[in-house]
Amino acid sequence: MRIISGIQPSGNITLGNYLGAVKNFVKLQDKEDITDFLVFVADLHAITVPQDKAELRKNIKSLVSIYLACGLNPEKVKIFIQSEVPAHAQIGWVLQCNGYIGELERMTQYKDKKERQVAGVSVGLLTYPSLMAGDILLYDADMVPTGLDQKQHLELTRDLAERFNNKYGETFVVPTPFIPEAGAKIMSLTEPTKKMSKSDPNPKAYISLLDDINVIKKKIKSAVTDSDGTIKYDIDNKPGISNLLTILSCITNTSIKDLEAKYKDSNYATFKEDVANAVANEIMPIQEKYNELINSKYLDEVLDQGRDYANYLANKKLNKIYNKIGLGRKR
């Protein structure tokens, strides 16, 4: 089985990215039937909105360091930077030419981001899901672990793969999304009906894996809840408490039911204190490793190896795709 996933280096990696994605990559890397597991830094995706050059470079390196600090093992997972594998952009173009404007305009993430873009909406923001489909189809990935917000993009990927296969003959594996049952949508701490996002203008809304530990605790303790006073999972009426229960459940591997029973007679302050400590204890060792790694040559070694391997797989596939379509000369 082949697995692939990526994260955009477009800001601070949040607790949402960690619980919805990275923590699952770390779990999945020990599965026995894996032939290839690729995790990349989606830098080409990041430039769909304006980026500061120095900031982007810093975020790319930081994300690689985060991957390793969270426990991805380069002997099991190839880590690479998307823009260092040119075939991503090449297949992205091919898929753009097989996608329809209408289906791209229906993507909710495009609609949301478009609203927030004041300085003009780039063409890339619209066509981005075809690049994402290319990221996946290029490697014949069977499984794609992501959070819930990528589900629609993964469905489009499946549609594009099937459409291409029907038009040009069997070419692509149609991938299966892997969306975890718990933690697939961690919510904002200040507006718990909204997704926790690394691009939220309010830093109190999210926990960055690189926030100071005391700041992390403070953010959790001041998370928006309700005035009902009971610790129960109820998304509609108690989104803040439900979100904190989900976070605690993911980190401690305890079911929500068991947590509700444990905190039956507790008040919000005690509960929040426990959530704050659990999150802090999970993130502290990650930060320690991150600090050891961020300026080490090891990052480059990992990335060189990942780039070479990904290019090898991707170029082989790209040739097959070009041949199916009739591009260039037969090779």
Query: Least separation, in Å, of the C-beta of 89 and ligand TYM?
Result: 12
Pull the structure tokens for residue 70: 């969270």
Determine, following the binding rule CB under 6 A, whether residue 195 of this chain makes contact with ligand TYM: yes
Residue with the two structure tokens 């899901």: 129
Determine, following the binding rule CB under 6 A, whether residue 184 of this chain makes contact with ligand TYM: yes
Determine, following the binding rule CB under 6 A, whether residue 42 of this chain makes contact with ligand TYM: yes
| Closer residue to ligand TYM, CB minimum distance, 11 or 262 | 11
Compute the residue count for the chain.
Answer: 331
Q: Residue 8: count other Cβ atoms within 10 Å of its Cβ.
A: 24
Q: What's the chain's Rg over C-alpha atoms?
A: 21
Pull the structure tokens for residue 36: 């290839």
**∠ CA 39-175-85, rounded to 5°:** 40
- List 23, 78, 198, 238, catalytic entry: 198
Residue 237 Cα distances to 54, 232, 281, angstroms: 43, 10, 29
- Backbone dihedral region of 229: left (phi > 0), alpha (psi from -120 to 50 degrees) or beta? left
| Closer residue to ligand TYM, CB minimum distance, 145 or 268 | 145
Contact window for ligand TYM (CB under 6 A) among 16-24, 89-97, 240-248, 316-324: 16-24
Determine, following the binding rule CB under 6 A, whether residue 85 of this chain makes contact with ligand TYM: no
Element (H, E) at 161: helix 151-168
| Closer residue to ligand TYM, CB minimum distance, 112 or 264 | 112
Determine, following the binding rule CB under 6 A, whether residue 185 of this chain makes contact with ligand TYM: yes
Pull the structure tokens for residue 155: 């469905």
Does the annotation mark 198 as catalytic? yes
| Closer residue to ligand TYM, CB minimum distance, 197 or 287 | 197
Contacts of 248 (CB under 8 A, 6+ apart): 254, 259, 274, 275, 278
Determine, following the binding rule CB under 6 A, whether residue 156 of this chain makes contact with ligand TYM: no
- List 61, 185, 195, 238, catalytic entry: 195
Determine the size of the site formed for ligand TYM (CB under 6 A): 25
Q: Which residues bind ligand TYM (CB under 6 A)?
A: 4-8, 16-17, 19-21, 42, 45, 132, 135-136, 144, 146-147, 149-150, 184-186, 195-196
Catalytic residues: 113, 195, 198
